[in-house]
């Protein structure tokens, strides 16, 4: 920041800009703490366009904590399809149940009460306090951390404890005392739209006269980059008159309660005809699934069962599994008569065997 006494000037310039140029999202039109909590949870690891496509429908289905608290877990998981990171909906359901059990379904208003709920940490608590109740609680997400590092020309890595402490202290010091709701939204939006990663659009910035960054494109500094880890697994496809063989994930699995195509050890799967490969990315993992066509006499695992074709749409699956199942069901006649589907699409056909 240009001057220590410019904090009020910064907050006011930011809020004025936001009032004129701020984007209109459904979660900005409400002060309902439940609706705000849901939007924050959805936005944690999902892009705004994807959340926009699902948020209002989801809120119509679960308009209060009580609606989600009494929902079946399978139904809740199914409602989350397309948003990914399914642990979030289970955590949200735990939060909803705690609100019903400990607060008679009334959303708490104090930081201590919010932080005592399962699934609510410092960031989410501050989001609910400021957006729902307009309380002075500062927020730091990746966008805010980037803006603040540039504003103070600070080269402390933002993904270290020291970098996070500095960002939180600055966000709190700069907080607009009478309109923290608009201030927090404005700071996040500045990072999303103008002070973006790479080269920011400083010529449009409402606080450029207060910014110290000389080479903002080099900020923020981050500690060592995460390595991408490659993962491979071998799955089987068995579709009979009883339906599609699926496996329900155990309680300790990443996608607990959800359905997926059954896996087999590589040496077992590779004895079966190969259908296709599918690759997809999850956080720092690049996953390759090799899919093989099984035969009826395959021994089944205890967690595996046939799901009738007309029930497949009502069992929860992660997006890569859903896409592959839909694709292969559409190709089912081809699968019955060939070792590989005619159109592999984004799913690679296996390379011809080499001798
Ligand atoms: S002037 Fe540029 S670098 Fe500084 S806060 Fe604004 S957009 Fe970011």
What is the whole-number distance in angstroms between the Cα of residue 299 and the centre of ligand 1? Answer: 61
Tokens at residue 124, please?
A: 């989410």
Q: What tens-digit pLDDT sequence spans the chain (355 residues)? A: 654 446 789 999 999 999 999 999 999 999 999 999 999 999 998 999 999 999 999 999 999 999 999 999 999 999 999 998 898 999 999 999 999 999 999 999 999 999 999 999 999 999 999 999 999 999 999 999 999 999 999 999 999 999 999 999 999 999 999 999 999 999 999 999 999 999 999 999 999 999 999 999 999 999 877 789 999 999 999 999 999 999 999 888 888 889 999 999 999 999 999 999 999 988 889 999 999 999 877 888 899 999 999 999 999 999 899 999 999 998 876 655 544 433 333 444 444 433 3
Q: Which residues contact 196 (CB under 8 A, 6 or more apart)?
A: none
Tokens at residue 284, please?
A: 């720092």
Residue 202 DSSP code: G
| Candidate of 212, 213, 220 to mutate for ligand 1, largest count of ligand atoms within 8 Å of Cβ | 213
Sign of the Cα torsion 55, 56, 60, 61 reads: negative
Residues in the chain: 355
Q: Which atom from ligand 1 is nearest to the alpha carbon of 150? A: 3
What is the whole-number distance in angstroms between the Cα of residue 271 and the centre of ligand 1? Answer: 58
For residue 237, which phi and psi values (nearest 5 degrees)? -120, 115
The residue whose CA has the least distance to atom 2 of ligand 1 is 202
What is the whole-number distance in angstroms between the Cα of residue 150 and the centre of ligand 1? Answer: 6
What is the whole-number distance in angstroms between the Cα of residue 112 and the centre of ligand 1? Answer: 35
- Answer whether 0.85 is exceeded by the pTM: no
pLDDT on residue 353: 37
The residue whose CA has the least distance to atom 4 of ligand 1 is 211
pLDDT on residue 142: 93
What residues does ligand 1 touch, defined as CB less than 6 Å away?
A: 147, 150-151, 194-195, 200, 202, 205, 207-208, 211, 213, 216
What is the whole-number distance in angstroms between the Cα of residue 190 and the centre of ligand 1? Answer: 9
What is the whole-number distance in angstroms between the Cα of residue 199 and the centre of ligand 1? Answer: 10
Cα 137 from Cα 171, distance rounded (Å) = 9
pLDDT on residue 346: 45
Q: Which residues are catalytic?
A: 40
The residue whose CA has the least distance to atom 8 of ligand 1 is 195
Cα 226 from Cα 282, distance rounded (Å) = 13
| Candidate of 155, 216, 219 to mutate for ligand 1, largest count of ligand atoms within 8 Å of Cβ | 216
pLDDT on residue 6: 65
Cα 68 from Cα 70, distance rounded (Å) = 5
pLDDT on residue 355: 31
For residue 66, which phi and psi values (nearest 5 degrees)? -60, -35
Cα 173 from Cα 208, distance rounded (Å) = 18
Q: Which atom from ligand 1 is nearest to the alpha carbon of 212? A: 4
What is the whole-number distance in angstroms between the Cα of residue 14 and the centre of ligand 1? Answer: 12
Question: Is the backbone peptide bond immediately before 331 cis, with ω within 30 degrees of 0?
Answer: no
| Candidate of 6, 187, 200, 203 to mutate for ligand 1, largest count of ligand atoms within 8 Å of Cβ | 200
Q: Which atom from ligand 1 is nearest to the alpha carbon of 204? A: 7
pLDDT on residue 1: 62
Q: Which atom from ligand 1 is nearest to the alpha carbon of 208? A: 1
Q: Which atom from ligand 1 is nearest to the alpha carbon of 200? A: 7
| Candidate of 144, 211, 218, 219 to mutate for ligand 1, largest count of ligand atoms within 8 Å of Cβ | 211
The residue whose CA has the least distance to atom 1 of ligand 1 is 208
Full set of structural domains in the chain with CATH? 1-19+136-223 (1.10.1670.10), 32-133 (1.10.340.30), 229-337 (3.90.79.10)
């Amino acid at each position: 920041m240009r001057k220590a006494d410019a904090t009020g000037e910064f907050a006011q310039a930011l809020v004025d800009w936001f009032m004129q140029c701020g984007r209109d999202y459904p979660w900005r039109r409400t002060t309902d703490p439940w609706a705000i909590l849901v939007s924050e949870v959805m936005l944690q690891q999902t892009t705004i366009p994807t959340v926009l496509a699902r948020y209002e429908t989801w809120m119509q289905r679960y308009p209060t904590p009580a609606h989600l608290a009494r929902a079946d877990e399978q139904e809740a998981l199914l409602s989350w399809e397309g948003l990914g990171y399914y642990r979030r909906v289970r955590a949200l359901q735990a939060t909803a149940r705690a609100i019903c059990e400990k607060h008679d379904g009334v959303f708490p208003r104090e930081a201590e009460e919010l932080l005592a709920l399962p699934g609510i940490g410092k960031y989410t608590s501050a989001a609910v306090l400021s957006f729902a109740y307009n309380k002075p609680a500062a927020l730091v997400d990746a966008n805010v951390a980037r803006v603040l590092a540039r504003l103070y020309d600070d080269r402390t890595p933002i993904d270290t404890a020291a970098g996070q402490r500095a960002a939180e202290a600055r966000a709190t010091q700069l907080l607009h005392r009478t309109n923290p709701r608009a201030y927090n939204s404005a700071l996040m939006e500045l990072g999303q739209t103008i002070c973006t990663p790479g080269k920011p659009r400083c010529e449009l910035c409402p606080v450029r006269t207060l910014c110290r960054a000389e080479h903002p494109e080099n900020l923020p500094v981050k500690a060592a980059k995460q390595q991408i880890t490659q993962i491979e697994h071998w799955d089987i496809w068995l579709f009979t008159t009883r339906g599609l063989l699926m496996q329900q994930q155990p309680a300790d699995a990443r996608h607990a309660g959800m359905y997926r195509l059954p896996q087999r050890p590589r040496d077992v799967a590779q004895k079966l005809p190969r259908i296709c490969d599918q690759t997809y990315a999850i956080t720092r993992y690049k996953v390759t699934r090799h899919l093989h066509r099984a035969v009826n006499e395959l021994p089944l695992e205890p967690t595996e069962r046939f799901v009738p074709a007309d029930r497949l749409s009502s069992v929860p699956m992660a997006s890569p599994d859903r896409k592959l199942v839909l694709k292969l069901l559409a190709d089912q006649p081809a699968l019955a008569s060939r070792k590989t589907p005619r159109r592999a699409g984004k799913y690679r056909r296996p390379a011809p065997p080499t001798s």
